[in-house]
Amino acid sequence: MKTLVVGYNHSWKDKRVMRTVETFSKLGHVYYQFSGGIDLSAAQRNSDVQNFSLCRDEMPGTSKVIKRIRFDHEILKMVEELDYDLAYFHSFPASQPVKIFREVKKRGKKLLYDLHEIMPEQFLPERLSFLNPILWKVLKTQLSLVDGVIGVSEEALRMMFEKTGIEKPMLCLPNYATSGVSLENCVKNAEIAVVGGTHRKISIDTSLLNEIKRNFKLVSIGTTCNIADEELPFMDYKLMMERISKVKFTLLAFQSRTDPQYVNDIYSLPNKFYDSLAAGTPVILDRRFVSMRKIVEKTQTGIVLDLLDAMKHPPSFLNDSEAYDLYLDNLRSNYDEFVWDSSKEDIFLDFVSNVLKS
């Protein structure tokens, strides 16, 4: 089987995209488009993957619009000219969101759509959100063309299918950690981490934050964070996981838009969530995060709070050693739920196989 994986604006190191490339390379040749540079020594390890570096910002032109159009034209050429059985999109082409999908189907190829976010709510900046209804119509057309959809959470997938009225085979494939860290002999510092590659507002009651800071040092890893006592740079994955394993909690209180109930936040299952749990570190989670809360409450691997209402939480909640030991025990016993492994890869491949047969 030959597969075209379109990473679009995702970098070569993007964990979710690379995971699909590595999986498909076990089945045959993979054409892999990504944005930006590449680690040539790592890329050459797998001769079944043919790499295509295409970056929107490096396209000819003086304006972002022209660059975007030319970038999508290059993606369209790949779709039209390469020899593949399955096209797998990790994003949607901004200037030709339907045409490129139609070209895949025109050639009689199978098409899978991996939606990292709820696209119509995420694509435009907040000031242009009045145009979101148009994007929902675009998504409806896209979903009508694809053969299957992959998403990060059940709630996000359900919302997109219900709002568009489209039904297609779907698979929830969360952003599992690549690997974990052993809890044996792991010393926890009096620290709380904020982890992530993008700057987002942290929404937390001021008095609760002050109470936390009286007992813990707040450390950010790989992100700008105005509440952090110390900002650490972006790290190699293994180093990052080791550093997370040394903190007592990871704080998940980000807010991407003005509305705290913004669906791409509350239905998210981000990398930092699974990375923290796989590193053996419990989370402090804002109650509004529906998808993450469901997992934390099921596995009892962290504290779920209304982080904007300090009056609900006694000052001692972070220093309950008996409860903390229970979190660590639950992290050990639920480890397999947080890390990508062969069983999850098999589920993914079964889904792909059924789509190809349909």
> HEC profile for 91-137?
CCCCCCCCHHHHHHHHCCCEEEEEECCCHHHHCCCHHHHHHHHHHHH
Least confident piece of the model among 42-51, 156-165, 184-193, 208-217:
42-51
Q: What percent of the chain has pLDDT over 70?
A: 94
Q: What is the pLDDT of residue 196?
A: 65
User: How confident is the model at residue 314, as a pLDDT?
Assistant: 60
Each residue's pLDDT tens digit, 252-296? 999 989 999 999 999 999 999 999 999 999 999 999 999 999 999
Does 37 or 103 have the greater pLDDT score?
103
Residue 318 lies in a domain: yes
Which range has the worst mean pLDDT, 18-32, 164-178, 309-323, 338-352? 309-323
Report which residue type is found at 16: R
Co-location of 165 and 54 in the same domain: yes
- Residues 352 and 203 reside in one and the same domain: no
DSSP state of 177: B
The boundaries of the domain holding residue 80 are 3-173+340-357
How far is residue 219's CA from residue 231's CA, in Å, rounded to a whole number? 6
Domain total of the chain: 2
pLDDT at residue 142, as a whole number: 97
Any domain includes 17: yes
- 325 and 349 part of one domain: no
Say how many CA atoms lie within 13 Å of 290 toward its Cβ. 14
Residue 180 resides in a domain: no
The answer, yes or no, to whether residue 354 has pLDDT greater than 60, is: yes
Rank 97-111, 214-228, 296-310 by mean pLDDT and report only the highest.
Answer: 97-111
H or E element, residue 347: helix 342-357
Same domain, yes or no: 267 and 311: yes
* Residue 308's CATH number: 3.40.50.2000
Are 168 and 197 members of one domain?
no
Query: Does position 22 have pLDDT exceeding 60, yes or no?
Result: yes
Q: pLDDT band for 179, please (50, 70, 90 cuts).
A: very high
Q: Are residues 149 and 205 in the same domain?
A: no
In single-letter form, the type of residue at position 76 comes to: L
26-75 pLDDT per residue, tens: 999 999 999 987 766 666 666 799 999 999 989 998 899 999 999 999 99
Q: Is residue 181 in some structural domain?
A: no
Tokens of 326: 């229970």
Task: Supply the mean pLDDT for the chain.
Answer: 91
Tell me: do 10 and 121 sit in the same domain: yes
Both 57 and 93 in one domain: the answer is yes
* E strands in the chain: 3-11, 30-35, 49-53, 86-89, 110-115, 148-151, 170-172, 191-195, 201-202, 217-221, 230-232, 249-252, 254-255, 283-286, 302-305
In this predicted structure, the answer to whether residue 168 has a pLDDT above a threshold of 80 is yes
- Residues 159, 131, single domain; the answer is yes
- Check residue 41 and give its pLDDT: 61
What are the pLDDT digits (tens) for 82-91?
A: 999 999 999 9
- Domain co-membership, 278 together with 344: no
Q: How confident is the model at residue 13 (pLDDT cuts 50, 70, 90)?
A: confident
What percent of the chain is predicted at pLDDT more than 90? 72
